[in-house]
């Protein structure tokens, strides 16, 4: 197992190299760079601009710039340098340190929310197959699958504005700095509720459908008859025997669901002004803040790949038949 | 319909008595009668073989004893299954669970799929013990004893194994251990050797013989193979299309089968040293005729 | 899902496409047609008078909060099949007839107006053209690329297969919307509406072709060892011909369904980009763009259901394509051997 994890982590490296190389190339296809705004200022000193260009290596061809960036990012001295954000005026590494936890938090709560809703619904839909409940939940699943996140985010904002029950976006209140740790926790939780629901809803449908299909497959299994023949009560047959088997494909699916959650979170972060890396990359792209874009790409892709890896590990842990070697 | 010895019934109350059992499956308004009014009895310590081809209703009969079939409206069971005088067809769902596993235990055809793949075998055995014998203190020792009984080597090690780590024969031994762990009074073995290799089949039958001797319980052996019936069962009933076509002591039936279907099934047993030009097949048209008369 | 549902959805989508096709006939105004005296106008009421349908006349009661008040008894008659701005019906027949109109300076706003007095109803209909066509153009592209890449990768195997699959993995390793934004950021902002549309289609196709290519590759792999393909090889047909003549007909239905399963992604992708201001640009109309107007605080508080209409339109269209995709999938691949999501 350990070697598998190690191998997967090593496989991450060429992937990230490919992604960032591609991204650098693409960004240089675009006209202009992040110094455009400095250049546009009428009183800008040409010497100053030239100095900046040299400093950021913009006077080199793009592939040289890429290797310069790469040289700094690779932690030779145990510290990665992701460059400097011209828009935010801070180190990209520092910026990532602020933004990444917010996105990870939102992704995890959304995934948890989606699971908590979808799994019981899927199980019930399977047990009461073809009932009214099953029909209604499958229609709702279609609906949840088809609603654009940003539209849902707008509705959530409207709801928050009209009722005043929830904050209008953001991650913390303005007086966050002066709060006690307990108040801080509740403040963040309060800000998280709506984004979590909005991001999570889209994944409920797919998780529920997979859960339902697997559960139905497993209910017909022979080990279910064995368990019943042993005298195991029906509830335990369903929730111990069938459930543990039906959950396996779902763990794999969670890896994929994570991908759509990270993507969905981007729109929600922008609409609800939630300071995660999705919010960050959007503004960075508008400003052609190239190092921020690269940093955000690296982080979001790493998140995705690690999410898949975690799902595989969880699957191996839950399903004894799977042993990676 | 059954030729039971009336004097035996007087002297000994049967452990299991099935009366006029009818099992019907419904799908899309169509009613399919799988078992059509059969009656039989199993005495204490006795072994009954139920023989028939697939689709003859024998497995469904076995499942119906503890109501393991789907519930109404999919499946409808009428008649009586009297176990120790109590009618299992009519009792509540809660009550039937006290019979499942504790009084009547099962062994199924496919050990590979009948064991839950995500639990260790120790875990699956423990479940039965914890359910029916809450007074057992050392569950682990009890399981190891049961695994030992079915001649599994290194029971301490196998205890932690998952089903997929065992061979088919081993899996079936685990199934048997799981059935025996609560000391049932009736063991229903539904084609216990069909999915296994021939050499393993013999081992499993030997094991069952050994266990019957040690634990003195009743057995219902469900099979399509008359070959394993001889030397194992005391009585045989032969089922064909949901009905019992012939019943009686094993020796009588094997030596002097009266029904054409029984004869045909017996003819299917491969015998050593016998030159058979072609495989025996069953002529159903003729059977239909003989049944209607 | 049962077939009657598929039929119902097909009829619904058929109606949508008809409306989009005749958008310029049905809608009274063009998308950029402003009326700065009538901004944030509520939907105009209609009434009968002297046997003719009239549209209610309003006056601005409070310019700060944009409150309009009905002028009782005053209205303008609605004229059917009236002459308005010029356009080409179905892009061919030049005409200026419209389904309904009122005489200037009165205006008919079935769904109210936006911050520059443009008719939401007209914009919604024109926006439908974008959302309803983007998926079709998109799947045409990914069918071609998915088939070429997947078919050739599966047929030739080896390095070509390896390269294609690694590349697809690379694309799939980046969260979709992140890549979408980066790709969009690569191109200049100032583009003609047509260029923007095709740029969006191409970017979205780039994100979506991988899944189709993988399915086709898997099927080609299993087909290429079949006798008829081997026979063609022995006869010395060129690989391209074999892939085109023997593989394509066998995978075609899968190709169509696999590609059509990504129609919702195209619709949602365009809406998201336009919503962020990186897609269809003002003054053109797109459902995503209309939703972004709804972020305006005034709209938010005054005219909330504008926000609902383009959003609901996207929602219903996507749901319809999702259902349709599932129905087709069940027909083509009932056991979900190749097509699943």
Residues of C (78-117) whose Cβ lies below 8 Å from A: none
Confidence at residue A194, expressed as pLDDT on a 0 to 100 scale = 92
A279-320 pLDDT, tens per residue?
A: 998 988 888 888 888 888 888 888 888 888 888 888 888 777
Read off the pLDDT of each residue in B216-226 and give the average, rounded to a whole number: 89
Residues of A within 8 A of B102 (CB-CB) are 231
Query: What sign does the CA torsion over C233, C238, C239, C242 have?
Result: negative
CA-based nearest distance A225→chain B, Å:
7
Instruction: Tell if the CB–CB gap between A230 and B98 is shorter than 8 Å.
Output: no
* Tokens 């393993």 found at: B200
What is the total count of domains within chain C?
Answer: 1
Q: Does the CB of A13 have a partner CB in chain C at under 8 Å?
A: no
Asked if residue C247 belongs to a domain, the reply is: yes
For A26-72, write each residue's pLDDT tens digit.
777 776 666 676 676 667 777 777 777 777 777 777 788 888 888 88
Region of poorest pLDDT, from A53-57, A180-184, A197-201, C312-316: A53-57
Q: What pLDDT score does C183 carry?
A: 85
Cβ separation C188–A31 shorter than 8 A: yes
**Count of all residues that appear for chain B in the document:** 293
> With contact defined as beta carbons under 8 Å apart, do A30 and A286 qualify?
no
Q: What is the CATH number of the domain that holds C252?
A: 1.10.3720.10
Residue C203 at interface with chain A, using a CB cutoff of 8 Å: no
Nearest to B113 by CA among B171, B169, B66: B171
Mean residue pLDDT of chain B comes to 84
Considering only CB atoms, which residues of chain A are within 8 Å of chain B?
Answer: 221-223, 225-234, 241, 244-245, 248, 318-321
Partners of B128 on chain A (C-beta within 8 Å) are 230-231
pLDDT at position C340 is 57
Chain A residues touching residue C135 (CB < 8 angstroms):
none
3-state secondary structure of C276: coil
Q: Using CB atoms, which chains have 3+ pairs under 8 A with A? A: B, C
Subunits that touch chain C (at least 3 Cβ pairs < 8 angstroms)? A
Q: Is C94 helix (H, G, I), strand (E, B) or coil?
A: strand
pLDDT at B235: 92
The predicted structure's pLDDT at residue C142:
92
Please answer yes or no on whether C314 and A260 come within 8 Å at the CB atom. no
Burial class (CB in 10 A: 0-12, 13-18, 19+), A139: middle
- Residue C34 within a domain: no
pLDDT at B123 over 70: yes
* Interface contact C177-A278, CB threshold 8 A: yes
Distance CA A200, CA A188 (A): 17
Q: Is A26 on the interface with C (CB under 8 A)?
A: yes
CA distance C27 to chain A (A): 25
Over range B156-170, report the average pLDDT: 88
- Per-residue pLDDT at B50 exceeds 80: yes
- The conformation of residue B40, written as its DSSP 8-state character, comes to E
Contact check, Cβ <8 Å, C186/A301: no
pLDDT-derived band at B20 (thresholds 50, 70, 90) equals very high
Q: Is A222 in contact with B108 (Cβ distance < 8 A)? A: yes
Do the chains B and C touch each other, judged by at least 3 C-beta pairs below 8 angstroms?
no
Instruction: Look at residue B3 in the predicted model and tell me its pLDDT.
Output: 46
Spacing of C-alpha A238 from chain mean position: 32
Find the CB nearest B100 among A230, A245, A319: A230
pLDDT at position A26 is 79
Distance of alpha carbon C172 from alpha carbon A300, whole angstroms: 12
* Host domain of residue C289: 124-340
Q: Minimal Cα–Cα distance from C269 to chain A, Å? A: 9
Q: Which of B255, B248, B287 lies closest to B41, judged by CA? A: B248
Chains A and B touch (3+ CB pairs under 8 A): yes
Give the residue from chain C lying closest to A280, CA to CA. C178
Looking at residue A70, what is its pLDDT?
A: 84
- Which residues, in sequence order, are CB contacts of B60 under 8 Å at separation 6+? B23, B34, B35, B69
Say how far residue A5 (Cα) sits from the centre of its chain: 21
Q: What domains sit in chain B, N to C, each tagged with a CATH number?
A: 14-103+186-268 (3.40.50.300), 112-183 (no CATH)
pLDDT (mean) for A8-23: 84
Q: Which tokens belong to A139?
A: 């229609």
Contact residues on chain C for A142, CB-CB shorter than 8 A: 319, 322-323
DSSP characters for A269-289? HHHTT--SHHHHHHHHHHTT-
* Domain A92-318: CATH architecture, name and number where available: Orthogonal Bundle (1.10)
Q: How far apart are CA A252 and CA A245, in angstroms?
A: 13
Any C CB within 8 A of A25 CB: no
Q: Is residue C27 part of a domain?
A: no
Rounded Cα gap, residues A296 and A85, in angstroms:
12
- A–C contact (≥3 CB pairs within 8 Å)? yes
Residue B162, min C-alpha distance to chain A (Å) = 7
Domain boundaries, chain A: 2-73, 92-318
Mean pLDDT of B84-110: 88
Chain A interface test: which of C173, C265, C286, C314 (most A C-beta within 10 Å): C173
CA-wise closest residue to B43 among B18, B73, B20, B9: B9
Query: In sequence order, which residues have a C-beta less than 8 Å from that of residue C79 and are 6 or more positions away?
Result: C100, C101, C102, C103
A230 min Cα distance to partner chain C (Å):
33
Q: How confident is the model at residue B10 (pLDDT cuts 50, 70, 90)?
A: very low
Confidence at residue C298, expressed as pLDDT on a 0 to 100 scale: 66
Whether C294 is in a domain gets the answer yes
What gap in Å lies between CA A216 and CA B30, rounded to an integer?
A: 23
With CB atoms and an 8 Å threshold, state whether B106 touches A232.
Answer: no
pLDDT in the model for residue A32: 67
Mutate to test the interface with B, among A129, A216, A221, A230 (most CBs of B within 10 A): A230
Say which residue, B54 or B18, is predicted with more confidence.
B18
- Chain C hits for A23, CB-CB cut-off 8 Å, are 182
What residues of chain A, 119 to 158, have a C-beta less than 8 Å from chain C? 138, 142-143, 145-151, 154-155, 157-158
Residues facing B249 on adjacent strands:
B235
Cα atoms in the Cβ-side hemisphere of radius 13 Å centred on A280: 29
- B162–A321: do the CB atoms touch at under 8 Å? yes
What single-letter DSSP state applies at residue A88?
T
| Residue-wise pLDDT tens digits, A74-122 | 776 666 778 888 777 888 888 888 888 999 999 999 999 998 999 999 9
Q: Going residue by residue through chain C (341 aa), what tens digit of pLDDT does each one get? A: 457 888 889 999 999 999 999 998 999 988 888 888 888 888 888 888 888 888 888 888 888 777 888 888 788 888 888 888 888 888 788 888 889 888 878 888 888 888 888 888 999 999 999 999 999 999 999 999 999 898 888 888 888 888 888 888 888 888 888 888 888 887 777 788 888 899 999 999 998 888 889 888 888 888 887 888 888 888 888 888 888 888 888 888 888 888 888 899 999 999 999 999 888 888 888 999 988 887 776 666 666 677 788 999 999 999 999 888 888 888 887 766 666 54
Distance from CA of C323 to the nearest CA of A (A): 8
Considering the domain boundaries, does residue C77 fall inside one? no
Subunit contact A230:B128, Cβ cutoff 8 A: yes
Determine the distance in angstroms separating the CA of A205 from the nearest CA of chain B, rounded to an integer.
26
Q: Model confidence over A142-165: pLDDT tens digits?
A: 888 888 888 999 888 888 888 888
């Amino acid at each position: 197992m350990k070697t598998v994890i190690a191998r997967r982590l090593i496989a991450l490296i060429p992937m990230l190299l490919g992604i960032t190389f591609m991204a650098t190339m693409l960004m240089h296809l675009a006209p202009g760079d992040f110094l455009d705004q400095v250049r546009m200022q009428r009183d800008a000193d040409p010497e100053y601009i030239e100095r900046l260009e040299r400093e950021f290596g913009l006077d080199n061809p793009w592939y040289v710039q890429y290797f310069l960036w790469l040289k700094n990012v690779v932690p030779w001295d145990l510290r990665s340098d992701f460059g400097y954000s011209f828009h935010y005026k801070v180190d990209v590494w520092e910026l990532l340190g602020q933004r990444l936890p917010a996105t990870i938090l939102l992704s995890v709560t959304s995934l948890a929310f989606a699971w908590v809703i979808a799994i019981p619904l899927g199980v019930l839909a399977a047990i009461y197959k073809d009932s009214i409940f099953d029909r209604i939940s499958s229609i709702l699943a279609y609906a949840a699958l088809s609603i654009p996140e940003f539209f849902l985010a707008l509705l959530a904002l409207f709801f928050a504005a009209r009722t005043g029950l929830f904050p209008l976006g953001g991650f913390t209140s303005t007086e966050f700095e002066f709060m006690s740790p307990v108040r801080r926790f509740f403040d963040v939780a309060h800000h998280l509720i709506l984004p979590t629901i909005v991001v999570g809803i889209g994944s409920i449908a797919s998780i529920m459908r997979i859960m339902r299909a697997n559960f139905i497959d497993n209910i017909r299994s022979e080990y279910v008859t064995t368990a019943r023949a042993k005298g195991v009560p029906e509830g335990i047959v369903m929730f111990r025997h069938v459930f543990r088997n039906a959950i396996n494909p779902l763990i794999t699916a969670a890896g994929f669901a994570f991908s759509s959650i990270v993507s969905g979170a981007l729109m929600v972060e922008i609409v609800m002004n939630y300071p995660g890396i999705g919010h960050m990359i959007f503004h960075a792209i508008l400003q052609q803040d190239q190092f921020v874009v690269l940093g955000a790409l690296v982080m979001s892709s790493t998140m995705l790949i690690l999410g898949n890896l975690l799902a595989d590990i969880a699957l191996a842990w839950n399903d004894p038949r799977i042993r990676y070697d | 319909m059954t030729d039971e010895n009336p004097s035996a019934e007087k002297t000994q109350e049967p452990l299991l008595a099935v009366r006029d059992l009818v099992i019907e499956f419904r799908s899309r308004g169509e009613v399919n009668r799988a078992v059509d009014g059969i009656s039989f009895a199993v005495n204490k310590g006795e072994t009954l073989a139920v023989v028939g081809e697939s689709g003859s209703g024998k497995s469904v009969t076995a499942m119906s004893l503890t109501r393991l079939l789907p519930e109404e409206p999919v499946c409808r069971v009428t008649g009586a299954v009297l176990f120790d005088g109590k009618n299992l067809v009519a009792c509540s769902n809660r009550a039937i669970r006290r019979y499942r596993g504790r009084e009547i235990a099962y062994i199924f055809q496919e050990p590979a799929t009948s064991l839950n793949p995500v639990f260790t075998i120790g875990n699956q055995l423990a479940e039965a013990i914890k359910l029916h014998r809450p007074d057992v203190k050392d569950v682990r020792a009890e399981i190891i004893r049961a695994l030992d009984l079915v001649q599994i080597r290194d029971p301490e090690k196998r205890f932690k194994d998952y089903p997929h780590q065992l061979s088919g024969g081993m899996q079936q031994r685990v199934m048997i251990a799981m059935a025996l762990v609560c000391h049932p009074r009736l063991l229903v073995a539904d084609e216990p050797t069909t999915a296994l290799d021939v050499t393993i089949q013999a081992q499993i039958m030997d094991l069952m013989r050994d266990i019957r001797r040690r634990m003195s319980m009743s057995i219902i052996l469900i099979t399509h193979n008359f070959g394993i019936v001889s030397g194992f069962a005391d009585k045989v009933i032969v089922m064909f299309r949901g009905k019992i076509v012939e019943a009686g002591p094993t020796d009588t039936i094997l030596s002097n089968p009266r029904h054409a279907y029984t004869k045909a099934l017996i003819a299917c047993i491969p015998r050593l040293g016998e030159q058979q030009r072609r495989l025996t097949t069953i002529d159903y048209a003729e059977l239909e005729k003989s049944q209607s008369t | 899902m049962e077939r009657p549902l598929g039929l119902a959805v097909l009829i619904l989508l058929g109606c949508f496409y008809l409306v989009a096709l005749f958008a310029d006939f049905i809608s009274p105004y063009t998308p950029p047609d402003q009326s700065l005296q009538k901004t944030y106008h509520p939907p105009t009421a209609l009434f009968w008078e002297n046997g003719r349908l009239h549209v209610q006349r309003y006056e601005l009661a409070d310019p700060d909060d944009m409150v309009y008040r009905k002028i009782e008894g005053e209205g303008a008659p609605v004229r059917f099949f009236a002459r308005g701005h010029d356009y080409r019906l179905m892009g061919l027949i030049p005409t200026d007839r419209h389904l309904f109109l009122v005489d200037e300076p009165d205006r008919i706003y079935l769904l109210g107006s936006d911050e520059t007095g443009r008719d939401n109803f007209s914009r919604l209909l024109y926006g439908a053209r974008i959302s309803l066509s983007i998926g079709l153009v998109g799947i045409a592209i990914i069918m071609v690329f998915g088939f070429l890449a997947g078919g050739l990768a599966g047929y030739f195997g080896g390095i070509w297969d390896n390269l294609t699959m690694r590349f697809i993995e690379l694309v799939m390793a980046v969260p979709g919307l992140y890549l979408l934004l980066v790709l969009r950021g690569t191109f200049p902002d100032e583009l003609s509406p047509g260029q923007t549309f095709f740029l969006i289609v191409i970017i979205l196709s780039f994100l979506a072709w991988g899944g189709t290519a993988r399915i086709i590759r898997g099927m080609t792999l299993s087909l290429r060892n079949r006798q008829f393909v081997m026979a063609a090889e022995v006869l010395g047909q060129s690989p391209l011909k074999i892939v085109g003549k023997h593989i394509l007909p066998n995978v075609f239905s899968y190709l169509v369904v696999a590609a059509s399963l990504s129609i919702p992604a195209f619709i949602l992708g365009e809406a998201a980009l336009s919503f962020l201001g990186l897609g269809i640009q003002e003054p053109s109309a797109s459902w995503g763009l209309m939703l972004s107007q709804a972020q305006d605080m005034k709209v938010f508080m005054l005219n909330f259901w504008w926000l609902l209409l383009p959003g609901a339109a996207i929602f219903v269209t996507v749901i319809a394509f999702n259902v349709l995709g599932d129905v087709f999938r069940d027909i083509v691949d009932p056991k979900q051997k190749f097509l699943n999501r």
